[in-house]
């Protein structure tokens, strides 16, 4: 009985910590994402495969950006509850949204360093890390990559 109570107490503590810190991390991350997206808005990044005629003669280069974000205990618990009843796993939606946007931003930041004009054919890969290891908290990785067209010095 005492052991069970201890387990419950630990779970509640983890839920509380997960909620407080997860919430804080998410808020500040969104803030940073929104600010940086505005900053890099000028750099066009599209999923179009073939560059425009103008761009096709310029040098191209692979640019990537990847991010790994861990899910907090509260989110994971909520998602586990969801798997019982079904429905939208809303607790993971913000997580993936943040990961995708952060990955694209990192890709853009790399492209900017290379003095790129535009990025074509951008693609996103999503994978989960340590999904199978039981008892481990999961993390999601999103990789964004595309072909940057570099500015030609004239």
Q: How many CB atoms lie within 10 A of CB 8?
A: 10
**Residue 60 or 118 with smaller CB distance to other proteins:** 118
CB of 36 to other proteins, least distance (A): 11
Spatial separation of the C-alpha atoms in residues 50 and 63, rounded to whole Å: 16
By CB under 8 A, name the binding residues for other proteins.
3-4, 7, 19, 34, 37-38, 41-44, 46, 74-75, 77-78, 81-82, 84-85, 88, 90-91, 93-94, 96-97, 101, 135
Tokens of 114: 């290379």
State in angstroms the smallest separation of the CB of 125 from other proteins: 17
Q: Which is nearer to other proteins, 7 or 125 (CB)?
A: 7
Measured from the CB of residue 153, what is the shortest distance to other proteins in angstroms? 24
- Comparing C-alpha atoms, which of 139, 152, 39, 47 is closest to residue 99? 139
Work out how close the CB of 25 gets to other proteins at its nearest, in angstroms, rounded to a whole number: 14
How many CB atoms neighbour CB 44 within 10 A?
13
Quote helix, strand, coil % in the chain, to nearest 5: 50, 25, 25
74 versus 145: smaller Cβ distance to other proteins: 74
């Amino acid at each position: 009985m005492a052991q069970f109570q201890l387990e419950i107490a630990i779970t509640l503590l983890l839920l509380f910590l997960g909620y407080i810190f997860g919430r804080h991390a998410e808020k500040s991350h969104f803030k940073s994402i929104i600010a940086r997206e505005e900053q890099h808005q000028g750099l066009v990044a599209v999923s179009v495969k073939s560059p425009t005629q103008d761009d096709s003669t310029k040098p191209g280069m692979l640019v990537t950006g990847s991010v790994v974000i861990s899910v907090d205990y509260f989110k994971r618990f909520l998602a586990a509850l969801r798997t019982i009843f079904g429905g939208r796993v809303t607790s993971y939606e913000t997580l993936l949204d943040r990961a995708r946007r952060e990955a694209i931003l990192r890709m853009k930041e790399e492209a900017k360093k290379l003095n790129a004009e535009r990025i074509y054919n951008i693609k996103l890969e999503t994978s989960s890390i340590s999904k199978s290891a039981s008892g481990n908290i999961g993390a999601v990785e999103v990789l964004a990559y595309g072909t940057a067209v570099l500015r030609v010095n004239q």
